[in-house]
Amino acid sequence: MPACLRCGKEFSGFSFGSTVPTECRECRRAFPQATVQAPNEFLLLGGSPPFVTRAIIAIDVLIFLAMGISGASWTEPGYLELVHWGADFGPLTLSGEWWRLLTSAFIHIGIIHIALNMWCLWDLGPILERLMGWKAFLVTYVVSGIAGSETSVAWRPLGGGAGASGAIFGLAGAFFSFLYFKKAPISSEFAKRHLKSVALFIFYNLFFGAVAFRVNNAAHVGGLIAGLILGAVIPCIVPRTVEVPERPDFGQAGFSLDNPAIAESQDLRLLVIVLVSALALVAGSFALAVHDAAIAQYGSAVALIRENDSAAAISLLQNATSSNPNHAVAFEMLGILQLDQGDPKGAWPVLRRAVDLDRNNLALRHNLALAYVGAGFPDYATQEIGWAIKARNEDRSAADFILGVASYQNKNYKDASNHFLAAVQGRRDFFEAQNALVLAYIATDQRDKAHALLTEILAKNSKDPVATGSLEVLATMPNGPITPDDLPRIVIPYSKLTAKSQYWPLFP
């Protein structure tokens, strides 16, 4: 318990007001306090150095430098690189990687991003750290950062995010509360001017976040709300009335605004705030995990795929799609994994459902066409691949191969030859397309072309089992036209033909 500065008597210093008493109740009644308003310069320039602000900036800069040195782009690092370094990605966070809620506040997406955030932090952090004290400042920063990340996950559970802006908005909110409730020993003119500045900062950045591309406004709002609440309940470390020398020596060693007499009471109050904040954040995380259970299962499937355990991932995704029949991404991933496992009959109903949920996803239509042709539905495959080739990034060699197989199944061997030839020309190492072209040549009784192409394939890849088998088939075939029933089936390389995001197994 703190001791009264006048009589030395111990008293309870706990208070819900904006300041903490330094004298017992009896002395406060008997001796009215002499009040000298602290000059604004004292608040801005005096006190202990803002070492927490400096430490946060140093950590952010060091992590950014480490990312760049490791090979990440200095201006626009890739999504996989950001996730690797600890950025938030909803499915991974919800599936157990909760630490991303905090680490994402120290990851930045390029040099402009970190420069703007660090400039804001350096402008706002020192004065607020002196007002709150370093412990409360650190709590505000961490809690606001996590709250911003949780809000981001709640708003876009399949999205991701990185950057200190949620935490910085929390600091802005806390500073706004300090000024609004007049918790600091500053003049009305100073408070009014800075209150307007902070309000404009908040409004402008929220407006910019609402209209700009790739700005995570949900994190801004979550951090801001957390900061406003924390700023309202955390006491100012400098009492509203404090005796200050007319010309304080700001350079004096050991100069500090901290009052040892009230430190114990403030620490107790801060401990209560920390416990309540932690309880609220944990409750929020639990609610998110329950609400987005299917997305959490998808996140667990991502981890299993990274561990090369596709069978377990398929089982988990089947559960996810059963519990949430509207989870398009889970259906998409499940269908791709089933294709990779060579199961087009199991994949096509799954991918059909995914397309129904996300009809504008042309990569999905590509994979559905692949599943259809593998399951023996050439007409449906042709229809879906017709949609897929409208995509700017469509793999035309893969599309031509799918069209060639569909034509081959429909016994239209001339069209099949043309499509397979286009697939080979588009990708010179596409041996499966070359082998399929051999079969189309055989079907159209162009044995010389078939034999020449097989010789070319085996010259590049002497152990190609399909080419070797085709050469044996060609050698044993009788002269004359070949009936369709005697033609071998085309081997479809599903894993080579599936359309996957460059971030696979992530779907940002």
Does 156 score more than 70 pLDDT? yes
Does 473 score more than 80 pLDDT? no
What does the pLDDT read at residue 28? 63
- Which pLDDT tens digit goes with each residue over 189-227? 666 666 666 777 677 667 665 555 566 788 889 999 999
Calculate what percentage of the chain has a pLDDT beyond 70: 75
- 95 compared with 12, residue with greater pLDDT: 95
Does 415 score more than 60 pLDDT? yes
What does the pLDDT read at residue 60? 95
User: Residue 276 in 3-state DSSP?
Assistant: helix
Most confident of 196-200, 279-283, 458-462, 470-474: 279-283
> Token pair of 7, please?
């009589």
Residue 58 CB coordination number (10 Å): 12
Under the banding of pLDDT at 50, 70 and 90, the label for residue 185 is low
What does the pLDDT read at residue 138? 95
Query: If you average pLDDT over residues 438-444, what whole number do you get?
Result: 82
Identify the weakest region by mean pLDDT among 113-127, 357-371, 448-462. Answer: 448-462
Under the banding of pLDDT at 50, 70 and 90, the label for residue 102 is very high
Query: If you average pLDDT over residues 418-435, what whole number do you get?
Result: 85
pTM of the model as a whole: 0.73
Most confident of 126-130, 178-182, 229-233, 427-431: 229-233
Helices and strands: H and E segment counts in the chain: 24, 2
Cα 308 from Cα 302, distance rounded (Å): 10
State the residue for tokens 């397979």.
Answer: 420
Walk me through the domains of the chain, giving residue ranges and CATH numbers: 40-243+258-291 (1.20.1540.10), 293-497 (1.25.40.10)
What does the pLDDT read at residue 248? 44
Closest of 359, 370, 368, 488 to residue 436, by C-alpha: 488
Calculate what percentage of the chain has a pLDDT beyond 90: 39
Cα 225 from Cα 223, distance rounded (Å): 6
Give residue 339's identity as a one-letter amino acid code: L
Query: If you average pLDDT over residues 264-285, what whole number do you get?
Result: 90
- 133 compared with 36, residue with greater pLDDT: 133
Does 262 score more than 90 pLDDT? no
Q: Using an 8 Å Cβ cutoff, are 334 and 364 in contact?
A: no
Under the banding of pLDDT at 50, 70 and 90, the label for residue 157 is confident
User: Residue 244 in 3-state DSSP?
Assistant: coil
Q: Using an 8 Å Cβ cutoff, are 55 and 67 in contact?
A: no
Query: How far does Cα 228 stand from its chain's mean position?
Result: 25
Q: Using an 8 Å Cβ cutoff, are 264 and 235 in contact?
A: no
Instruction: Give the CA distances from residue 368 to residues 56, 301, 320, 335, 397, in Å, rounded to whole numbers and listed in that order.
Output: 48, 21, 20, 8, 16
Cα 101 from Cα 87, distance rounded (Å): 8
Cβ-in-10-Å burial (0-12, 13-18, 19+) of 165 comes to buried
Does 32 score more than 90 pLDDT? no
Query: If you average pLDDT over residues 479-484, what whole number do you get?
Result: 62
What does the pLDDT read at residue 243? 43
What does the pLDDT read at residue 254? 39
What does the pLDDT read at residue 253? 40
DSSP H helices in 292-361: 293-306, 310-323, 328-340, 344-357
Under the banding of pLDDT at 50, 70 and 90, the label for residue 144 is very high
Query: If you average pLDDT over residues 39-60, what whole number do you get?
Result: 74
What does the pLDDT read at residue 454? 78
Give residue 166's identity as a one-letter amino acid code: G
What does the pLDDT read at residue 331? 93
What does the pLDDT read at residue 120? 85
- Residue 71 phi/psi, 5° resolution? 120, -5
What does the pLDDT read at residue 183? 74
